[in-house]
Each structure stands twice: as C-alpha cells, then as structure tokens.
C-alpha cells in the first residue's frame, strides 16, 4: 500500500471504483466506532470469503493520511516506509481488529481506513479482498476546520436519515450537541403528533356531497396531507418514522377502508404506541374496527354447524404477516431447517383454524345512542366489542404446549391467545428485522438481527416487546453507526416517500402534502393505499441474485423513469421566484393550503465555488458517501451549467438526487 498501490487506468483508486476482478460480495471488511470525535474507539472486522477461510495468509489494516500510508502491525501503527506488515498472520478466519482504543485521533484525523486479507499483500491487491471501512472524523469543535470536518455533520445526517424523514441543518446541529443516545431519549419524551379526530361520516355518500366533499370525507386525502405535514415539520420525527414503518408491517389499506374518519383511529394506534409495547399493539390492532373490516374479523360469528368454518382471513395474516411469519426462525432471523434442508413451518392450517375460532364474537363498537346488537352496524370510533353468544369458546391447543381452557369469555380467550402468540420466539426476529429494513438496511447481518431480537426479548429490565429498546438497539447498533459502508448489499433503496421528504427537509422546504400525494401515487407509493395487505412491496422481495431488497418491489422501468422526472419537476422545471422554488402551488380548494416550496438561498450562496456547493450536498443528501470520481464529475457539470448561481444550484441538487448514490441510501 503506497500511493501507487492500486491503479485503474492512470488514477489511484479507492475501493469500489474498480473491482470487476475481485471477490466483492463474498467477504466482509467493515468498521465501526463509538465515543466522540475527541475520544474514539475504532474497530474493524474482517471476514474472509468461505473458500479462503483456513488458508494461510494475513489480515491487513492501513490508513491513508494525506497521501501517506500508516499501517497497523502487531505492535501498533507504523509508517509504510518501515514495510507493510500484516496485523495478524496464520490461518485466515474472522478477525476483530482494535484499530484505536480510547486514543486522541489527532494523528489520523480525516484518514481513510482500509482493511482486508490475502495469502500475501500482493494477493490481496490482485484479488481486491479489501474495503474502505471508514473515514476517521475530525476533532470537533475546532478553531480551524479541516477538509473532513464535515464528517461530523455527515455522520449526524446519516443517523437522521434513518431516524427521521430527513436531515435538516438545525437537526444536524442538535444531534451533534446532544449525542445520538440523548437525541433518541429526547425524541421518546416528545408528545405525539396525531391524526385528527374526525366526526362520523355516513357509510353511503350523500347525493349533495360534491367532489371536494368526497375527497375530504370519502377518501384518505386529509390523512395523507397530515402525514406529509408531520413527516416534514413535526418535532416527534422518530415517532413518525417508526409509526410509518409499523403501518407497512401491520397493513390496513385505504383501498378498502376509504373514509377518513374510519381510518384515522387506526393510524393513531400506531403513532401512540410507536414507543410502547408490541403486545399492546397486538391487542389494539386486533380490535380496531378498521382492521376488523379490512381482514373480515368484524361480525365473524362462531360456526352454526360442524360443516361451517369461521372466517380465517385475519387469523392467517395475524400469524403470517403481523407476528411470527411462515417459518420458524432462529433469534438471528435465519430460517430453521429440517434434516433435508427444508424450512420448518411456524404454524399449520389447523393453527389458523384455531385462531379463527378464538377471534369469533367481535362486532363494531356501539354508536352513541344506539342499543347494542348481535351484529352492530359499521362504526369506527372505538375498539370492537364482544358478543359472548357469537363466540366459540371450546378448548384449543396453541403454541408451546399451551391449552386454552374451554368456557372462557371472548375477552379472556383473546388476551390469552395473544399472550401465547406474543411469547413465540419468532416475534422478536420477525418484527425486528423488518424494522431494521425500513430504517437502516435491507440486508442486516444475522448478528445485527440477533442483537435487536435480544432487545425485544428483554429491554434490560426483564420486559419483553419494549419498542423503545428495539428502536434504540436498531439505531445505535454498530451496523447502523460507524464510518462509510462499502458493502455492495448494504443500505436500502429509498422508497418514494423518503425521496421527497428527505430532499425537502434537506433543502429547508415545506409542503401541505398535496403535491407529494400525486407525485408518489405515480411512483406506486400512494400513502395509506397499499394494493394489498402485503404492503406496497413484499417484505421478502429479493433481487435475482437472492439479495433481499424489499423496496425494489416497486422499482421497475416505469417507476425508475418516473423518479427522475419527479426530481426534475421538483428541482429544475418548477417555478422560481428569486431563490424560492415552488413545484406545487397552493390548491385553493384545500383549507390552509400552502403548496410545496423550498428556499435555495443558503446553497445559492455557495454556488460561486462549485466544489463548496457539491461538498455541502454531499453532507446533506449523501451523508459524506460521495465518491471522488462522482465529486469531480459534479463539480465539472455545475461549472459547465454557466455562471448563474441559481442554475448552478438547481443543477447540482438534481444531479445529486438523481444519482444512485442518493437513490440507494448507505
């Protein structure tokens, strides 16, 4: 490793730019750090490809410091002029490397750190079994900023893209001041920004209800606008982001529940309980009349004869999608397999039938002033109520040898059955992994899933299902934090909602949601209107090579083009008044309409120096992950756009946001 160490053409290459001949994807080399920039603990892990494990070789770690290399040998850091020792030699195996341990990082501030392995150093270079694992942040605050001082900003921006609907300049400063854990605790303490409590709407649309009335009462439009306003400006960003993830796991779709008044209470269940206990969510979701209507549990009475069956729709999805999944899972999320290598089912049809019977006897809540009935008419303000004579209360054998006694009330049967299901070992890894996929990465390692499952099983005080502990574990895990990630399967495709909100928040924008609703509908993510109970995209969607990538379930030729057009209409072709860009004008039929706009003045002020403009967008939009080649190209394109500062700024934003570096969040 010297300055002429690796070349692709005539240029020195950092990892990920020239790797066609290597083993990228077959091995792991990654880094993490904890502490503060003034007092860091940095570490690396190197995992050889399966075919290389056990072979003789060495583990190598080096830091590029202002075009000079420092090498981590058995006795510590040495300059490359003293040779290029391996950190460890011997049979190649998974290796943890303490790069620095509670030391001042002044000597290697801004250094790019690489780690890898090989039979020899030359073999590692030739086979490209190494990766850039992080850039050491600069000490912060400091009197004279270093070129990489923005790394502190970039780390905060990356965290905020996982924990909120997008990083803002103000929130980046807040995270840097508080620290990650304290910021999370502060978010836990904020009151919930809820959906409006709307009055009952008649089930049939009255003749005098015009198009605007129909939009506001017989569609989810007012809830969608509330969603976007909360996503962009509500202070309880973490709660809103977690609630949105939960809404894509515990799905009720407006395709069926399409009156705003009937749907709002369901979303409030998820907002109110985003930091609560998953067991409470199980009960409240089950007894939600919106869920009861959507998956046919409401007015599901006991069979009147042996030839009849209770409706199994909700029972099946409760097991398959909302709690344990199709197959038995290890705590690390991997599937348990039998002696023939086949996945072991987590339940069978008989278990679905039993849960369907347990769930009989529930009807809509009683309307104010009405008398209770065997089957109450549709009404959505309150939980469903039980009618004992409609409930099938025979004994039933459930999971883990538990037998539900005969003769119990509907309420007792439901509580006991949900308790039994809640204790199933699948719930932690099944729900935890999906939350990781929504917030951080589509392909969490089994170890990451296991750590989150442990937090679900025990919050440290003996409590199971504490979502505060789960969220904290997800966001503070070493795989979520640390330096830049270069693994090809790390991160996730930004779903359309996040493309718009993260860009608007980064640019200091505001929206009443109207324009965003239409834009994201064309990108196949019409908020709250998923096409089925399987969400906008299947949770288990995978690419052709088997890589899990749920969000790619709605990424195709049409939506790929639509994404770019969406960004162009938002940034480049939208109306400009001074430096204020307005892609969506106020709709005069919407009460309190503001439209969608953002002020580019802070970025326009940097446009005289294209490099400074690009570097700030690297922090705000890419949290410091922009590769040198991309930076060089962007600086050239921005310069070529002319001398008008606004044109330069719009060009830089559009090209950055349309790039795969922004579309796929790492």
Is residue 141 reached through a cis peptide bond, with omega within 30 degrees of 0 on the bond before it?
yes
Give the 3-state secondary structure of 102-155: EECCHHHCCCEEEEEEECCHHHHHHHCCEEEEEECCCCCCCCCCCCCCHHHHHH
CA distance linking residue 470 with residue 121, whole number of Å: 41
Domain count, the chain: 4
Residues 516 and 609 in one domain: yes
Residue 44 pLDDT level (bands cut at 50, 70, 90)? confident
What's the rounded mean pLDDT across residues 239-251?
Answer: 98
Residues 16 and 107 in one domain: yes
Residue 11 pLDDT > 50: no
Residues 252-287: pLDDT tens digits? 999 999 999 999 999 999 999 999 999 999 999 999
580-584: strand order across its sheet:
510-511, 596-599, 580-584, 575-577
Are 375 and 299 in contact by the 8 Å Cβ rule? The answer is yes
Terminal CA-to-CA distance of the chain, rounded, Å? 26
Give the 3-state secondary structure of 199-257: CCCCCCCCCCCCHHHHHHHCCCHHHHHHHHHHHHHCCCHHHHHHHHHHHCCCCCCCCCC
Average pLDDT of every residue of the chain: 90
Q: How many CA atoms does the CB half-sphere of 489 hold within 13 Å?
A: 19
Last residue of a domain, one of 383, 401, 422: 422
DSSP 384: -
What's the rounded mean pLDDT across residues 116-124?
Answer: 90
301 within domain boundaries: no
Q: What is the CA radius of gyration of the chain?
A: 27
Please report how the helices 467-476 and 237-247 are oriented relative to each other, as an axis angle in degrees rounded to 10. Answer: 100
Residue 9 pLDDT level (bands cut at 50, 70, 90)? very low
Residue 619 pLDDT level (bands cut at 50, 70, 90)? confident
Q: Give the CA distances from residue 265 to residues 218, 280, 372, in Å, rounded to whole numbers and listed in that order.
A: 15, 15, 21
Instruction: Write out the two tokens for 3.
Output: 């300055």
- SS3 call for 635: helix
Instruction: Name which of 202-206, 478-482, 586-590 the model is least confident about.
Output: 478-482
Is residue 201 reached through a cis peptide bond, with omega within 30 degrees of 0 on the bond before it?
no
Q: Which residues contact 462 (CB under 8 A, 6 or more apart)?
A: none
Residue 4 pLDDT level (bands cut at 50, 70, 90)? very low
Residues 546 and 650 in one domain: yes
Are 467 and 276 in contact by the 8 Å Cβ rule? The answer is yes
Domain range for 361: 313-422
Instruction: Name which of 135-139, 502-506, 514-518, 658-662 the model is least confident about.
Output: 135-139
What pLDDT sits at residue 35? 65
Please report how the helices 313-320 and 349-358 are oriented relative to each other, as an axis angle in degrees rounded to 10. Answer: 120
Are 319 and 418 in contact by the 8 Å Cβ rule? The answer is no
DSSP E strand stretches across 324-367 = 362-363
Residues 502 and 646 in one domain: yes
What pLDDT sits at residue 25? 57
More confident residue, 407 or 137: 407
Last residue of a domain, one of 253, 275, 297: 275
Determine how β-strand 11-12 pairs with β-strand 7-8.
Answer: antiparallel
465 within domain boundaries: no
Instruction: Name which of 228-232, 418-422, 514-518, 544-548 the model is least confident about.
Output: 544-548
CA distance linking residue 548 with residue 540, whole number of Å: 7
What's the rounded mean pLDDT across residues 520-535?
Answer: 96
475 within domain boundaries: no
251 within domain boundaries: yes
Q: Taking Cα atoms as reference points, which of 592, 581, 597 lies closest to residue 515?
A: 597
Are 219 and 521 in contact by the 8 Å Cβ rule? The answer is no
DSSP 550: G
What pLDDT sits at residue 173? 84
Residue 384 pLDDT > 50: yes
Q: Which residues contact 205 (CB under 8 A, 6 or more apart)?
A: 214, 217, 218
Residue 39 pLDDT > 80: no
Residues 127 and 206 in one domain: no
- SS3 call for 441: coil
Residues 567 and 642 in one domain: yes
What's the rounded mean pLDDT across residues 587-592?
Answer: 96
What pLDDT sits at residue 429? 98
What pLDDT sits at residue 304? 83
344 within domain boundaries: yes
Residue 628 pLDDT level (bands cut at 50, 70, 90)? confident
Give the 3-state secondary structure of 278-289: HHHHHHHHHCCH
What pLDDT sits at residue 226? 98
Residues 188 and 109 in one domain: no
What φ, ψ does residue 636 adopt, rounded to 5°?
A: -65, -45
Residues 163 and 79 in one domain: no
DSSP 585: -
Residues 106 and 168 in one domain: no
Residues 515 and 633 in one domain: yes
CA distance linking residue 407 with residue 138, whole number of Å: 67
Residues 138-194: pLDDT tens digits? 665 666 666 566 656 777 888 999 999 999 989 988 888 788 888 999 999 999 999
What's the rounded mean pLDDT across residues 63-85?
Answer: 84
Are 1 and 66 in contact by the 8 Å Cβ rule? The answer is no
What pLDDT sits at residue 177? 79
CA 562, chain centre distance (Å): 22
What pLDDT sits at residue 8? 28
Percent of the chain past pLDDT 70, that is, above it, reads 90
What pairs with residue 295 in β-bridges?
none
Percent of the chain past pLDDT 90, that is, above it, reads 73
Q: The pTM is what?
A: 0.81
What's the rounded mean pLDDT across residues 335-355?
Answer: 97
What's the rounded mean pLDDT across residues 582-587?
Answer: 97
More confident residue, 2 or 481: 481
Are 528 and 223 in contact by the 8 Å Cβ rule? The answer is yes
- Sign of the dihedral through C-alpha 161, 166, 168, 170: negative
Please report how the helices 645-658 and 496-506 are oriented relative to each other, as an axis angle in degrees rounded to 10. Answer: 150
Chain position carrying tokens 């909700």: 314
Residues 91-103: pLDDT tens digits? 999 998 887 765 5
482 within domain boundaries: no
Residue 134 pLDDT > 60: yes
112 within domain boundaries: yes
Instruction: Write out the two tokens for 623.
Output: 């949290």
Residue 308 pLDDT level (bands cut at 50, 70, 90)? confident
Instruction: Write out the two tokens for 184.
Output: 């999370």
Residues 598-611: pLDDT tens digits? 999 999 999 999 99
What pairs with residue 47 in β-bridges?
28
Residue 22 pLDDT > 60: no
Residues 365 and 500 in one domain: no
Last residue of a domain, one of 102, 135, 168: 135
Instruction: Name which of 124-128, 326-330, 554-558 the model is least confident about.
Output: 124-128
480 within domain boundaries: no
Residues 505 and 622 in one domain: yes
């Amino acid at each position: 490793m010297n300055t002429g160490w690796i070349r692709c053409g005539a240029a020195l290459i950092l990892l990920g730019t020239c790797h066609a001949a290597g083993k990228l994807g077959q091995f792991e080399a990654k880094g993490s750090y904890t502490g503060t920039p003034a007092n860091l603990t940095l570490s690396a892990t190197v995992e050889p490809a399966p075919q290389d494990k056990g072979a003789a070789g060495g583990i190598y770690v080096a830091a590029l410091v202002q075009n000079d290399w420092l090498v981590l040998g058995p006795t510590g850091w040495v300059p490359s002029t003293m040779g290029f020792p391996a950190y460890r030699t011997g049979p190649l195996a998974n290796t943890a490397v303490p790069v620095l341990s509670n030391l001042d990082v002044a000597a290697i501030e801004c250094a790019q750190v690489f780690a890898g392995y090989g039979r020899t150093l030359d073999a590692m270079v030739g086979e490209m079994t190494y990766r850039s694992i992080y850039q050491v942040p600069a000490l912060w605050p400091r009197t004279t900023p270093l070129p990489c001082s923005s790394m502190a900003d970039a780390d905060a921006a990356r965290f905020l893209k996982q924990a909120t609907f997008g990083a803002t300049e103000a929130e980046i400063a807040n995270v840097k001041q508080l620290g990650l854990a304290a910021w999370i605790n502060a978010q836990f303490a904020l009151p919930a920004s809820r959906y409006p409590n709307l009055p009952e709407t008649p089930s049939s649309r009255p003749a005098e209800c015009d198009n605007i009335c129909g939009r506001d009462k017989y569609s989810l439009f007012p809830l969608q606008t509330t969603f976007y306003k909360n996503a962009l400006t509500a202070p309880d960003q973490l709660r809103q982001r977690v609630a949105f993830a939960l809404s894509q796991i515990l799905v009720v779709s407006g395709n069926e529940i399409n009156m705003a008044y009937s749907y709002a209470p369901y979303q409030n269940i998820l907002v109110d309980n985003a930091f609560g206990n998953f067991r409470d969510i199980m009960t409240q979701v089950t007894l939600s009349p919106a869920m009861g209507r959507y998956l046919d549990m409401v007015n599901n009475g006991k069979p009147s004869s042996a030839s009849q069956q209770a409706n199994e729709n909700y029972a099946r999805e409760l097991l398959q999608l909302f709690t344990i999944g199709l197959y038995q899972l290890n705590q690390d999320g991997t599937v348990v397999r039998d002696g023939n290598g086949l996945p072991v089912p987590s339940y069978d049809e008989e278990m679905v039938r039993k849960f369907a019977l347990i769930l009989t006897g529930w009807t809509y809540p009683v309307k104010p002033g009405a008398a209770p009935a065997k089957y109450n008419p549709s009404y959505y303000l309150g939980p469903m109520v039980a009618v004992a004579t409609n409930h099938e209360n025979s004994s039933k054998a459930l999971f883990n040898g538990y037998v539900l006694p005969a003769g119990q009330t509907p309420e007792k049967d439901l509580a006991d059955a949900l308790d039994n299901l809640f204790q199933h070992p699948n719930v932690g890894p099944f729900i935890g992994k999906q939350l990781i996929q929504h917030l951080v990465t589509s392909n969490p390692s089994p170890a990451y899933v296991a750590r989150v499952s442990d937090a679900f099983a025990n919050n440290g005080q003996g409590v199971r299902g504490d979502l505060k502990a789960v969220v904290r574990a997800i966001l503070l895990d070493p795989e979520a934090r640390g330096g830049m990630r270069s693994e090809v399967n790390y991160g996730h495709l930004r779903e359309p909602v996040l493309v718009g909100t993260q860009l608007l928040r980064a640019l200091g924008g505001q929206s009443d949601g109207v324009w965003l609703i239409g834009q994201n509908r064309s990108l196949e993510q019409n908020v709250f209107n998923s096409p089925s109970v399987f969400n906008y995209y299947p949770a288990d969607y995978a690419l052709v090579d088997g890589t899990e990538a749920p969000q790619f379930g709605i990424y195709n030729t049409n939506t790929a083009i639509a994404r770019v057009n969406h960004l162009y209409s938002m940034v480049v072709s939208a109306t400009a008044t001074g430096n204020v860009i307005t892609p969506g004008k106020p709709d005069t039929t919407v009460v309190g309409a503001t439209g969608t706009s953002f002020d580019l003045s802070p970025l326009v002020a940097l446009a005289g120096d294209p490099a400074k403009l690009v570097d700030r967008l690297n922090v705000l939009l890419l949290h410091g992950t922009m590769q040198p080649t991309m930076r060089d190209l962007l600086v050239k394109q921005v310069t070529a756009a002319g001398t008008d500062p606004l044109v330069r700024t719009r060009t830089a934003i559009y090209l950055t946001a349309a790039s795969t570096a922004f579309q796929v969040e790492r």
